[in-house]
Homo-oligomer: A and B are copies of this chain.
Amino acid sequence: MADKSFQSLPGFRDFTPRDCAVRNYLFSVWRSVAHRYGFTEYEAPIVESTDLYLKKSGGELTTQLFRFEDQGGRDITLRPELTASLARIVGANQRNFPKPLKWFEIGPCFRYEKPQKGRGREFIQFNADIIGEASASADAELIALAIDTMLSLGFQEGDFVIRASDRESWLSFCSDHNISDPAAFLPLIDRLEKLKPEALDEQLAAFGVSRAQVDAFINNPENASPAFCAIQDNLDARGLGRFLELDLTIVRGLAYYTGAVFEIFDMKKSMRAVAGGGRYDGLLSTLSNGAADLPATGFAMGDMVIRNFIEETPNAQMEMEAWMARNPACDTYVVIADEAQRNNALGVISLLRNAGIHTDFPMTQLNVGKQFKKAEQSGARFALVIGAEFPEMQLKILSSRTEEKIHPNTPVVEAIQKHLDSPDGPLIA
């Protein structure tokens, strides 16, 4: 529509019914996998005190904040991510829950950046975190959850890979090469592919190492950390080991990661990152001024890149369409063939709805042909025709154009449910 007054703000999305169904499909898969893994859902406020984000070892995020002053003069921010809120909530409730916590969250986040494919100013994240468990078995549990999320979305071996590393490997490298400030050195590894070769050589030289030394380190699988090896063994025992790959170039941009780090990559589309996470053992302590000193590991997946990935991957696309077909807006459309029967039709409609059948009908008088057109538009599988012969009714199965008479003494709900329960019938939510 050309009229600007109908547009949402740049980088913000309207979810009309199809887009909302795609979103709900993601929510459904994310929740169902998290539940299978015994994770419990939480939610944080969408607005937090800006302090919370400034405290958290800053970096790129703090320049992208939707930050403002509220009517009470508070400096507040639309959350750019969930980890800071999670740390705050765990700090406030740490005595109330036995550790380790396995918590997940699904909700919107906000970053002021240039809108582009796969990146918006409001996007939805799936966050899963394990708090209070320092061993690599927590990282493995989390990576297994990430892999099973991809498999549940219909992705298969060859579609994606988890590339993982461990910052500990690089701390060994730094110590072996007398690099005294690993925090300054690690961002260089994160940018190996992004920097021009000359610039990279120069910056590495400042730390007294060469590109050849770095490459040799990266290409030697012996440099996998003990945690990485434990994660690999753990995933192997689950039958998921084939999805994991050692990649020592993965260090993740944010400063707060302390151990194992990983990213999920789309193997077909030039290795686009679909999700990422890692261990952040010091962050809860920093954010809580030492009150909640708990080890933690977590990951996040956004809704925009994964949706694009699904729509480019036939298996995943089919899986999504099958879910939508099982969850139609309407199962049964009631056709009122005789307006004098409207009140009787309303009674039948109530019966169907009380039984959980998604039911729609024309709210005002309409000729029968138009009602059948509405029935087809609605996605309904059945049209229940109520006319002068009521309480006798006709049930039409729209796909096969077959019909059956519902006799006055037949319970109408059961007549429809018999078809709904057939193997190819839609689910009733």
Give the B-binding residues of A (Cβ under 8 A): 1, 3, 5-10, 12-17, 20-21, 23-24, 31-32, 35-49, 51, 66, 68-72, 74, 76, 78, 85, 88-89, 91-93, 96-98, 100, 102-103, 108, 110, 112, 121-122, 130, 133, 135, 137-138, 141, 144, 148, 233-234, 236-240, 288-289, 291, 329-330, 342-344, 346-347, 349-350, 353-354, 356-361, 363-364, 374, 377-378, 429
The residue that A46 contacts in the complex, of B16, B88, B108, B144, with Cβ under 8 A, is B108
A43 engages B68 (CB within 8 Å)? no
How close is A46's CB to chain B, nearest CB, in angstroms? 6
Mostly, the A contact residues are mixed
Residue numbers in B under 8 Å from A364 (CB-CB): 133, 135, 137
List 9 additional contacts besides A46-B110, A68-B68; criterion CB under 8 Å: A15-B44, A17-B42, A45-B122, A46-B46, A72-B112, A100-B363, A133-B363, A137-B363, A236-B343
A13 to B237, CA, bound (A): 40
Residues of B within 8 A of A88 (CB): 5-6, 8
Q: Nearest 3 CB-CB pairs, A to B?
A: A38-B360, A68-B68, A6-B92
* B240→A350 contact, CB < 8 A: yes
On whether the beta carbons of B122 and A350 are closer than 8 Å, the reply is: no
Q: Which residue of B lies closest to A343 (CB)?
A: B237
State whether A103 touches B363 (Cβ < 8 A): no
Q: Which residues of B contact A46 (CB under 8 A)?
A: 12, 46, 78, 108, 110, 122
Given A9-B48, A237-B343: A43 touches B23 (CB 8 Å cut-off): yes
In the assembled complex, 19 residue pairs joining A and B whose CB atoms fall closer than 8 Å, in A order, are: A1-B92, A6-B288, A8-B48, A9-B47, A12-B46, A17-B103, A20-B42, A32-B429, A36-B357, A36-B359, A38-B360, A40-B329, A46-B122, A47-B121, A47-B122, A68-B68, A68-B69, A78-B78, A238-B350
**8 Å CB contact of A42 from B15, B133, B236:** B15
Report the bound CA distance from A272 to B103 in whole Å: 35
Cα–Cα distance between A66 and B45 once the two chains are bound (Å):
14
With A363-B100, A363-B133: A36-B358 Cβ-Cβ less than 8 Å: yes
Chain B residue nearest to A137 (CB atoms) is: B363
What residue of chain B has the Cβ atom nearest to residue A139's Cβ?
B363
Q: How far is the CA of A8 from the CA of B70 in the complex (A)?
A: 14
- A135 touches which of B237, B354, B363 (Cβ 8 Å): B363
Q: Point out the residues of chain B lying under 8 angstroms from A15, CB to CB.
A: 42-44
User: Which residues of B sit under 8 angstroms from A23, Cβ to Cβ?
Assistant: 43
Chain B residues, Cβ within 8 Å of A70: 9, 66, 112
A38 to B331: give the CA distance in the assembly, Å.
Answer: 8
How far in angstroms is the closest Cβ of chain B from A242? 13
Contact B92 A14 (CB under 8 A): yes
Chain B, residue nearest A6 (CB): B92
- For A72, list chain B residues within 8 Å (CB): 10, 112
A14 to B52, CA, bound (A): 15
Chain B residue contacts of A289, Cβ below 8 A: 3, 5
Residues of chain B lying within 8 A (CB to CB) of residue A429:
31-32, 35
* Contact between chains at B358 and A239 (CB < 8 Å): no
Q: Which residues of B contact A91 (CB under 8 A)?
A: 1, 3, 5-6
Known: A36-B357, A240-B350, A429-B31. A14 touches B329 (CB 8 A): no
